[in-house]
Amino acid sequence: MKLYNTLSGKIEEFKPMASPFVTFYSCGPTVYDYTHIGHIRTFIYNDLLKRVLLHDGYKVNHVMNVTDVGHLSGDDDSGVDKMEKGAKKYKKTVWEVAQFYTDFFLKTIDAVNILRPTTLCKATDHIGEMIDIIIKLQEKKYTYETGEAIYFDVLKFPTYGKLSHQKMEEKLKGAREEVHIDAEKKHPADFALWFKRVGRFANHTMYWPSPWGDGFPGWHIECSAMSMKFLGKTIDIHTGGIDHIPVHHENEIAQSECANGVPFVHYWMHFYFLLVDGKKMSKSLGNFFTIDDLIKKKVDPLALRYLFLQSHYRQTMNFTWGSVQAAGEALKKLKQIVAQLKNEASDNNNNDPRADIFEKRFNDAINQDLQTPQAIAIMWEILKSDLVAQEKLKLLFSFDEVLGLKLSDIKKLSFPKEILILAEKRKQAKANKDFAASDTIRKQIEEKGYVIEDSKDGYTIKLQ
Ligand SMILES: [Zn+2]
Q: How does pLDDT run across 423-462, given as a tens digit for each residue?
A: 999 999 998 999 999 999 999 999 988 888 887 767 888 8
- Mean pLDDT over residues 219-225, rounded? 95
Which domain-ending residue is among 409, 426, 446?
A: 409
244 and 334 belong to one structural domain: no
Measured in angstroms, how far is the CA atom of residue 52 from the centroid of ligand 1?
22
Q: Is 223 annotated as a binding residue?
A: yes
Q: Is 258 annotated as a binding residue?
A: no
285 domain-assigned: no
pLDDT tens figures, 332-342: 999 989 998 99
Q: Judge residue 260's burial from the number of C-beta atoms within 10 Å of its C-beta, 0-12 exposed, 13-18 middle, 19 or more buried.
A: middle
Chain Cα centroid distance, residue 399: 18
Residue of 90, 70, 28, 32 whose CA lies nearest to 206: 70
211 and 93 belong to one structural domain: yes
93 domain-assigned: yes
Q: Is 27 annotated as a binding residue?
A: yes
pLDDT tens figures, 3-25: 999 999 999 999 999 999 999 99
167 and 54 belong to one structural domain: yes
185 domain-assigned: yes
Q: How far apart are CA 161 and CA 190, in angstroms?
A: 12
276 domain-assigned: no
Which domain-ending residue is among 369, 392, 409?
A: 409
236 and 332 belong to one structural domain: no
325 and 380 belong to one structural domain: yes
User: Cβ neighbours of residue 72 under 8 Å, at least 6 residues apart?
Assistant: 78, 79, 80, 81, 82, 219
Q: Which domain holds residue 362?
A: 291-409
Tell me the CA distances in angstroms from 278 to 2, 163, 281, 318, 323, one per residue in order: 31, 28, 9, 6, 13
Phi, psi of 43 (to 5 degrees): -70, -30
281 domain-assigned: no
CATH of the domain at 401: 1.20.120
Whether the pLDDT of residue 354 is over 90: the answer is yes
Q: How far apart are CA 109 and CA 103, in angstroms?
A: 10
Whether the pLDDT of residue 204 is over 70: the answer is yes
456 and 391 belong to one structural domain: no
Q: How far apart are CA 178 and CA 74, in angstroms?
A: 8
- Mean pLDDT over residues 317-333, rounded? 96
Contact (Cβ atoms closer than 8 angstroms) between residue 50 and residue 24: yes
373 domain-assigned: yes
Phi, psi of 142 (to 5 degrees): -95, 0
8 and 84 belong to one structural domain: yes
Measured in angstroms, how far is the CA atom of residue 193 from the centroid of ligand 1?
13
pTM: 0.89
Whether the pLDDT of residue 294 is over 50: the answer is yes
Measured in angstroms, how far is the CA atom of residue 65 from the centroid of ligand 1?
7
User: Cβ neighbours of residue 112 under 8 Å, at least 6 residues apart?
Assistant: 40, 43, 44, 291, 301, 302, 304, 305
Q: Is 187 annotated as a binding residue?
A: no
28 domain-assigned: yes
264 and 335 belong to one structural domain: no
pLDDT tens figures, 366-425: 999 999 999 999 999 999 999 999 999 999 999 999 999 999 898 887 788 898 899 999
Residue 288 per-residue DSSP state = -
311 and 445 belong to one structural domain: no
Reported in sequence order, the residue ranges of 284-437 that DSSP labels E, i.e. its strands, are 317-319
Contact (Cβ atoms closer than 8 angstroms) between residue 70 and residue 218: yes
314 domain-assigned: yes
Q: How confident is the model at residue 346, as a pLDDT?
A: 83
Whether the pLDDT of residue 149 is over 90: the answer is yes
Q: What sign does the dihedral 20-25-31-35 (CA atoms) show?
A: negative
pLDDT band at 179 (very low <50, low <70, confident <90, very high): very low
Measured in angstroms, how far is the CA atom of residue 221 from the centroid of ligand 1?
8
Measured in angstroms, how far is the CA atom of residue 106 from the centroid of ligand 1?
18
161 and 298 belong to one structural domain: no
Number of domains in the chain: 3
Q: How confident is the model at residue 177, as a pLDDT?
A: 47
Q: How far apart are CA 112 and CA 109, in angstroms?
A: 5
Residue of 350, 334, 354 whose CA lies nearest to 342: 334
Measured in angstroms, how far is the CA atom of residue 391 from the centroid of ligand 1?
43
pLDDT band at 178 (very low <50, low <70, confident <90, very high): very low
- Mean pLDDT over residues 200-215, rounded? 92
86 and 178 belong to one structural domain: yes
Contact (Cβ atoms closer than 8 angstroms) between residue 263 and residue 234: yes
Q: Is 283 annotated as a binding residue?
A: yes
CATH of the domain at 156: 3.40.50.620
Residue of 286, 343, 352, 316 whose CA lies nearest to 460: 343
Which domain-ending residue is among 215, 239, 271?
A: 271
384 and 421 belong to one structural domain: no
Residues with CB under 5 A from ligand 1 (ion): 27, 223
